[in-house]
Structure 1
Amino acid sequence: MTLKLWWGSGSPYSWRIQLFLHEKNIEFESKQVQFSKKETRTDEFLKMNPRGKIPVLQDGDIIMYESMAIIAYLEEKYGPLGPSIKNPNERAKVLTRTYEAENYLLVQGYDFLRYIYGFKQDKEAAIKNYDALIEEMSKWEKYLETAKFFAGEDLTLVDCLVVPFLYAAERSGFDYKAHGFSKISQYVEENRNRSSFVASSPPHYKETPGTNKVADFVQELKKERQQ
């Protein structure tokens, strides 16, 4: 029976599941949810996920939500990404960096984008968040100095988590080279046309332009710190 995935355009938690499925060449029925139509609040949807959030995965009689739980289930059923992680040391690295991404990089990264787009209004907090994010990204830049992907020479679950943030930040005007992250910039460019990245990319990314919100924030911050 074909998997069914309910997802929304731009949701990084949906995106990571789609990226995993496309990278593993796992067939699934795509069920795009329209936020503007409040489709996550219908009685039918709430029966699947009473929290009214995406993604939701259905596999026969099994219905799951929470993206990390879904990925854990998919890895158990179909195997993890990356042939090298059959090695216990490589698998340990993938698991460690997966939770590094989830608990540090993405917490700081998505919080910063929320400030940038006005979902949070405290400017001083936004500046502290930005500084913490740059420090954290420096660690991820180093991961790419010795490997093609964030946990080694093969694309793994770590990349599935980090990619949605990197492209969302870029679309918001984050200039990786200007921040000294040449390896991250190279990673973004080299993988832009990877089939799984293209297939999982949010539809509205293709239909609407990005912004310069991060670049504007950084420019204003530089001026303030020079005064």
Structure 2
Amino acid sequence: MKEEIEKELNREERVFNEIKAKIGPKWQVKPSSQLNGKYRNDLKTIVTFLNQAAQSNSKLQKQIRDEAELFKDLDKTRGQLSDALPKCDKQNENQQAEKLKQLLDQLSTCIAQRDELKQEYSRQADIMDITSLLVAKETEMSDEKNADKGDFDLRAATTGALNEIENKIKDLNTAQEKLLNDITKINQEFVKLKGSNPTQMQRETFIHSLNQACEKFNKCQQHLKDGLRFYCDLITDYITPLQSVCVFFFF
């Protein structure tokens, strides 16, 4: 294409010079060599872009060839992949996982109960009008003995319910600490059990390989899409206008 366009531009300039030589000074048209400067620059730009694209294409082709074996698994059906996935005995793992699940459920329940108690504590504190209780008690008390007794009853009335809630929260905090210790222990056993299972390691290797294949395939696919978009833009912005100019010159 480059040679064809250059040939047409050279031909146009040659014809221009022939006409100018015949007509002489009366031929005051701007020289074709100047008018064609933009088109020659566009042609150089196209060649530069195509050279860069060729290098990118070579790298992409090499990557696809290198990963061809890895990409084969992507052609398999879900059933074929399931059959190829190493099988292992899940009984022990499932037992540990079930224990861990139960402990986590208990922890969630413990946290939820504690949150409810905190809300109840706040509600009780808000509805207790200490000033009203003091006024009511002082009205009923006529001597020091009754005042002392009233003071005791007042403390009991204002703090009894709150103390009960505080004690429940403390018990839940203690239970939570024990649950966290148990969860840590069971989780360590679960991780150790998985790590010591050779079949499980083979499964993880297989899945990791499949994941790598997907990631690399998606990257290659994106590069191909970018390449197609590049060529479409190059044709639209440079090649088609340049071809149109050459056709306009001589047809």
Output the TM-score relative to the length of structure 1: 0.19
- Greater share of helix: 2
Output the TM-score relative to the length of structure 2: 0.18
Q: Which has the higher contact order (CA 8 A, sep 6+)?
A: 2
Query: Which has the greater radius of gyration?
Result: 2
- Greater share of strand: 1
